[in-house]
Amino acid sequence: MNLIKFDIRSQICPATLLIALKEINRHTQSLEEGTVKLVFLTDNRDALTTIPESVTNMGYSVNVIKDENCYSIEVSGGER
Amino acid sequence: MISEDEIKRLTSQNAELQRKYQASVRYIRDKVDQLLTVMGTSPLKPEELDDETLIGVDPIGIISNSFVQILRHLHRTNEKMKIATDEIKAIFESAGIGILVIDGDMRVLEYNTMLAKHFFDGSSGIIGQPCYKFVCRLEDAKDCPFMAIFKAGESVHQEKWLLHNRYYNVVGTPVINDSNEITMAVVVYVDITERIRKDEELRQSEEKYRDLFENANDIIQCIGPDGSFQYVNRAWNETLGYGSEEVSDLTIFDIIHPECDDCRSEFKTVVFGEKPGRIETKFITRDRREIIVEGNINNILDKDRVVGTRGIFRDITERKRAEESLASEKERLLVTLRSIGDGVITTDITGTIVLINKVAENLTGWSQQEAAGRPILEVFNIIDEKTRLKADNPVCRALKSGETVELENHTILVARYGAERVIADSVSPIMDTRSEIIGAVLVFRDITEKKYMEYRLLKAEKIESLGVLAGGIAHDFNNLLSGILGNIDLARTVYVLRDEVNIMLSRAEKATLMAIDLTSQLLTFSKGGAPIKKMASISDLIKCSIDFVLRGASVRCESYFSPDLWQVEVDEGQISQVINNLVINAVQAMPEGGLILVSAENVIVGQSKMQGLKEGGYVKIAIKDEGVGISRENIGKIFEPYFTTKQTGTGLGLATAYSIINNHHGLIDVESRVGSGTVFYLYLPALEGTVESKAEPPTTDQPATGRGKILLMDDDAIVRETAGDILKHLGYDVAFAAGGHDAIQIYKKALEDGYGFDAVIMDLTIPGGMGGKEAIGKLLEIDPAVRAIVSSGYSSDPIMANHIQYGFAGVVAKPYKIQNLGEVVNKIISKV
């Protein structure tokens, strides 16, 4: 599985969300096929709510991991 | 060149376009903010994205694409939801429980088929109606416990709720919305009527089995793999004497008898899964009593694993004792039955043989194994002795009549291989406790010997009475002959006679001697006296007799004597006479010639083996001919005096033989078959000690004369006269006495007068008076030195043989002959 990281630190909402949604849209097919996992590095706390909620509504799985300086939001093909 | 107007128009147009662009950007920005808000995030800030970047980033496009994905996801979710709803609906309908959905006013919102079936099957229009009307069939819900669901917001449980004769477990659960309001309640009804009924049945069944378990008379125990008791019943406690509280401290090894190693190992094998089945062993009770038990052990399995053993036992101690006692009783009865001296046969009601004892086995020739199960008629084959026809079987008669049946006389039992025995028997029906016939017992005995003995006894009595008669006649006759012979003797001695007279007297003497011989035979035959026995070789005696008799006869004789033949103690003359008679008979039975077989052997007669003989050693003599034989009618009479089938016979030969052998304490027997021949058997007691033969004194031709005074006692006047003449002729003085009393008086008076007698001659027996036997005692009292001579015609009398013992000095046989009398008197008087 390909891991594609996006460093969107220093970005704030809604830009963070828009960037995340844009990348998810771009990788929709790969995500659905389960060949790719997108990881968004962010330091925006609002994004920890907005991204997972939107991504969940879109039917993907979300996992939030707290790193030392930021958060990793992992998005992968959910249970369709 | 661009005109001013054009510039103005273009400026105005540019301003317009600028305004429209601004309006468009504002619009886009508004819609982006709107969309971002829908997405749950904050609106865009102008400093975040300038208008140009905003257009370039295309947030609407991004969000629209996301919406497409969201909608697609929602669509999928809706499809799943629908399936789930359908599933729930199916579950709702198909659940084996009644489900009711009500609102806060207890009105029915929904219900499933099972609920309808429980409470209002077939009814419609239930939705919207109060549940209590249809479920509880009540007018109001004031006592309804499920009201509490809406009041307290909690689940309500009702167990074993009785509704319309059925039991339900009911659970009501509130349904709470997002606003935390109780919008409805789901009430679930589980019909437990069947379960309760089954529980009740189970309880009753358990109670029943417990009742059986506790009240069983057999002892029941359940034992764990370690030998500990898991449970025992009341009978166990009572039988083994342990209280319920003590059982937990015990193991099976505490109650198995120490000697019963088999039982211990049996228990262990059961624990390891073996199935021993039936078992008999011994247990030890609390008070160390030993009990015998029998029963079954099974293993208790849990998923193929042995978790214990179950044993059901019965205390058979008493039964065992009774069985042992019965067996011993049976054994004793059987032994008794088999030891009974009579034959015993028992049959069942059909006359089939059940039991036959040893004696019956011997008599019938059928063993117990062979006879059992056979009809009595086959084994007990009886015929009439005289007609030889089959006799009525008494068993059949007894079974038919139910009464004891005695067998007819003259019945013969024909054994399996033809042997015939005369039997006496009786048959009694065997009755059970209800007096019903269940079989018959036949008791019979072999009376062949008894009959033979009876016959012999009868014959012996007959012969004895004849003997007395013959003896009496012979005694008198002998006295008469004494007179005749003495006088002839005297006449020839005293006078010198002419030859013709001498010849006549010789004839008279010969005839008299023949008469004396006949008298002697009669006296021998009669009970007149015992034989004068001497040790003798029977073979020599037989040989001598055979030689004498067979001289000139046309028969051959073969003899066989055992080389170690025992000696016998016999009167040689008498036994010779017996053998002579038997051999003569044999010769006469074979007028055309033939063979006589004579044999002698030693035999031992044991107890009861030979009727009429004492136990001991005997010499058995057999004299067998091939003659005409003796018929059945005659064979019983041959030993009777004067019975003869021969024209020239006296009828005294066999009677005398019988008497002689009887006096020798022996036995004479006969076997004969007409046309085949006859065998006579003589049994003579073998000698245990030896008898000294007495040397006979030499005799001279001339009668011895002498002097002296002699007292002659005889009841017969002729005898007195003749003997007196002979004694006087020989030189003696003679006085006479007719009986014992006279003799004693005369002897006593002469002694007192000083002229005592030198000798006294006394007749041994005086009919109706005192004979010599008694008188000698008196005389000895008067004169211990008396010299008395006993005389008698019964030469075989024991006193004659042993006269010294009786006090006599000598003995002289009658009829008197001068020679003999002279010698004896002379010898007695000479001794003085």
Please report the pLDDT score of residue B692 as a whole number.
40
pLDDT digits (tens, 9 = 90+) for B749-777: 998 988 889 999 998 888 778 888 889 99
Q: At what angle do helices B448-494 and B717-730 cross, to 10 degrees?
A: 50
Average pLDDT on B520-537 reads: 67
Half-sphere exposure of residue B579, counting CA atoms within 13 Å on the CB side? Answer: 30
Category of B503 on φ-ψ map: left (φ > 0), alpha (ψ -120 to 50) or beta? alpha
The sign of the dihedral angle between the CA atoms of B357, B360, B361, B366 is negative
**Cα distance from A7 to chain B (closest Cα, Å)?**
17
Average pLDDT over chain B, rounded to whole? 85
| A46 shares contact with chain B (CB less than 8 Å) | yes
Which residues on A lie below 8 Å from B57 (Cβ)? 18, 22
For the segment B672-689, the average pLDDT, to the nearest whole number, is: 85
Is B476 within 8 Å of B519 (Cβ atoms)? no
The answer to whether the CB of B222 falls within 8 A of the CB of B300 is yes
**CB contact (8 A) between residue B66 and residue A25:** yes
Residues of chain A numbered 60-79 and touching chain B (CB < 8 Å): none
pLDDT > 70? residue B689: no
Beta carbons of B267 and B252 less than 8 angstroms apart: yes
Tokens of B93: 């309908």
Residues written for chain B: 832
**What pLDDT score does B691 carry?**
37
Please provide the DSSP assignment of B76-115 as one string: HHHHHHHHHHHHHHHHHHH-SSEEEEE-TT-BEEEE-HHH
- What span, in angstroms and rounded, lies between the C-alpha atoms of A6 and A37? 11
Q: What is the largest CA-CA distance in chain A?
A: 33
Predicted confidence (pLDDT) per residue in B120-135, tens digit: 887 788 899 999 988 9
Summarised one tens digit per residue, pLDDT across range B368-408 is 899 999 999 899 999 988 888 888 888 888 888 888 888 76
Contact A17 B57 (CB under 8 A): no
User: Which of A12, A25, A59 is the closest to B62 by Cβ?
Assistant: A25
Would an 8 Å CB–CB cutoff place B339 in contact with chain A?
Answer: no
- For B564, phi then psi, to 5°, come to -105, 35
For B199, the token pair is: 């529980």
Q: Chain B interface, mutation test: which of A57, A75, A79, most B Cβ atoms within 10 Å? A: A57
Residues B578, B544: Cα–Cα separation, whole Å: 13
Task: Judge whether A58 is closer than 8 Å to chain B, CB to CB.
Answer: yes
Looking up tokens 């084996």, which residue turns up?
Answer: B96
> What pLDDT sits at residue B610?
61
Q: A68 to chain B, minimum CA–CA distance in Å?
A: 25
What is the b/e burial string over B237-248, where b = at least 16 CB atoms within 10 angstroms of the residue's CB?
bebbebeeeebe
Contact: A18, B59; criterion CB under 8 Å:
yes
B66 contacts on A by Cβ (under 8 Å): 21, 24-25, 54, 58
- Taking a C-beta distance cutoff of 8 angstroms, is the pair B66, A25 a contact? yes
| Among B31, B60, B62, the residue to mutate for chain A (most A Cβ within 10 A) | B62
A13 touches chain B (CB under 8 A): yes
Task: Judge whether A80 is closer than 8 Å to chain B, CB to CB.
Answer: yes
Rounded (10°) CA dihedral B549, B555, B556, B559:
-50
Radius of gyration of chain A (CA): 11
State both tokens at B807.
């006090």
Whether chain A has a CB inside 8 Å of the CB on B49: the answer is yes
User: Kind and range of the H or E element at B197?
Assistant: helix B193-215
Distance between CA atoms of residues B815 and B516, nearest Å: 8
Closest CA to B141 of B167, B113, B107, B118: B107
pLDDT per residue over B499-518, tens digit each?
888 888 888 888 888 788 77
Residue B785 CA: distances (Å) to CA of B705, B759, B774, B810, B823: 22, 10, 17, 14, 20
pLDDT in tens, B322-378: 988 988 888 888 888 878 888 999 999 999 999 899 899 999 999 989 999 999 989
Residue A54 pLDDT more than 60?
A: yes
**Selected residue with higher pLDDT from B253 and B532:** B253
pLDDT for residue B832 = 55
What is the distance between the alpha carbons of residues B259 and B278, in angstroms, rounded to a whole number? 19
pLDDT digits (tens, 9 = 90+) for B434-476: 888 899 999 998 888 778 777 777 777 776 677 777 777 777 7
- Kindly write down the DSSP assignment for every residue of B243-293, as one continuous string: -HHHHTT-BHHHHB-TT-HHHHHHHHHHHTT---EEEEEEEE-TTS-EEEE
Query: Cβ contacts (< 8 Å) between B37 and chain A: which residues?
Result: none
pLDDT tens digits along B584-629 = 888 888 888 888 999 999 888 876 556 678 888 889 999 999 888 8
